[in-house]
Structures are given as C-alpha cells and as structure tokens.
Amino acid sequence: MESLNEVWAHLTTAQQDPPTWAILLSALAALGVVSYSTSWHISRGLVTIAHEGGHALMAVLTRRKLQGIRLHSDTSGVTLTRGKPTGPGMILTALAGYVAPSLLGLGGAWLVSEGYVRILLWLVLVLLACMLLLIRNLFGVVSLLATGGAVFALSWFATDELQAVCAHAAVWFLLFGGVRPIFELQRKRRGNRAPDSDADQLARLTFLPAGFYIFFFLLVAGASLVAGTVLMVPWPLDLI
C-alpha cells in the first residue's frame, strides 16, 4: 500500500514548467514537423492513431460493437464497428475522428500547464495499451508498440526537464497536427478522391452537407489550438 501511495504521489506531484523560450521553441519545432511534407508524412501516423482512437472511444461510449482497428503504412486507418447503420451512435462515431487529435491536444495542454506531465505520459500509455487490444493488423501493432515504447522510455528514464519539454512538443504536435488533415480532406474532396470520408458519411447520415462538417472539424481544431496556446504560453512573455 505504501508503495502504491508513493507511486501515486510521484505521478501527481506537479513538475515545474520549462522556460518560456523552450515552450515557444517546442511549438516552432512541432509546427515545422507538421508544415514540412517529408516530416509530416513520417509523423502523420501519430495523428492517425489519435483519429482512429477517437472513433473507437465514441463507438464504445455509444454502445456500438467495436470489431477492431487497422493502421496502414500510408498513414491511413479504419475503425470497424457493428450496429445500426444510422442514428446518433453512428453519427457521433463518425464525428469523433477528426476532432480527436485536437481535443486530446487540448487535454494535454491543460495537464502540462498544471505541471502534470507524468500523468499525461501514463494516460497516453494506458490509451495505447487499450488500443493495442483492438488492432487487427501487424503494421498497427508495430506502430503502437513503437509509440508506446518511446513514451515509456521518456517517462521512465528522462529527467523532469526533458519530460516537460517533450510533453509540450507532443501537445503542440497534436494541436497543429489536428488542423492539417482537415485541409487535406477538403482538397481530396474537391478532386473527388474521398467519396467515403467521415464528412461525406455524416452528410449521408444527416440533412447537413459535408462542407458543414469540414467547417465544424476546423472550428474545433482552431479553437483547441487557441485554447491550448493560452494554457501553455505564460503571459506576459518572459524569455529569460
């Protein structure tokens, strides 16, 4: 019992924020990764993990039968569910994917702003472990194990200062990375290359057009980015 109490105390002890310059530098680094095509192609799979995790979580919450998740090497993914093909559960499940990375980033921004970096890292590990049970292809298993291994190594071996900086960078990546796929989706739709996208599925499920849902995705992503910035960047700026 004492050992468990010590672990809990260790997890819930707030860590000191990194210097403001380090927070801003981590933001610039994350923005660079998301903006540059090569680095985005390499890292985009992390956003896909959050995207498909959002579908899966909402499917469970709306009591749909979750059959599995597949992650592909081209950074796409699919979440397979079973249940009524229409209705609130199907709508909410389809709605959750594109907003999941941004909302996860916003939650992470709150945790790191309060100094709860260790809790954030271990929550990510728990979510990845739950998702691993649902993966139905080898590439997905390897992707989750690699991501989880990196997070575990950071949480177990890194100093508090390094943990804080990396956690900020990861949160910035989710906030910026939640925006770019929405613009990519719109470009694909203009070229008729995404007829079965989440937005188009939602249009078929409801009376609203697909463009409305793309606007909604973008609104959530933009609001999360602004709110996350307010939470993580101390004001007035002190760069020393």
Render pLDDT for 71-126 as a digit per residue (tens, 0 to 9): 999 999 999 999 888 999 999 999 999 999 999 999 999 999 999 999 999 999 99
Sign, CA dihedral 12-18-20-26, equals: negative
CA 3 to chain centre: 32
User: In 10 A of CB 182, how many CB atoms?
Assistant: 23
Instruction: Tell me the two tokens of residue 98.
Output: 């594109």
What amino acid is encoded at 150 in this protein? Answer: A
Predicted pLDDT of residue 46? 96
The gap between the terminal CA atoms of the chain, to the nearest Å, is 43
CA–CA gap between residue 28 and residue 169 (Å, rounded): 9
Q: d(Cα 117, Cα 49) in Å, to the nearest integer?
A: 20
196: helix, strand or coil: coil
Q: Per-residue confidence at 1, pLDDT binned at 50, 70, 90?
A: low
Residue 6 has pLDDT above 80, yes or no: no
Q: What is the pLDDT of residues 167-193, one digit of tens each?
A: 999 999 999 999 999 999 999 988 888
pTM of the entire structure?
A: 0.94
Identity (one letter) of the amino acid at 32? G
pLDDT at 4: 72
User: Which among 220, 111, 228 has a CA at the least distance from the CA of 172?
Assistant: 228
| Beta-sheet pairing, 65-71 with 77-82 | antiparallel
Q: Which two tokens stand for residue 141?
A: 């298993």
Decide: residue 238, CB within 10 A, 0-12 exposed, 13-18 middle, 19+ buried: exposed
Strand (E) or helix (H) holding 50: helix 37-61
In order of 49, 52, 54, 72, the CA distances from 78 in angstroms are 10, 7, 11, 9
Mean pLDDT highest for which of 1-5, 73-77, 190-194, 216-220? 216-220
pLDDT value at residue 240: 59
Distance separating alpha carbons of residues 43 and 87, to the nearest angstrom: 34
Cβ neighbours around 230 below 10 Å, total: 11
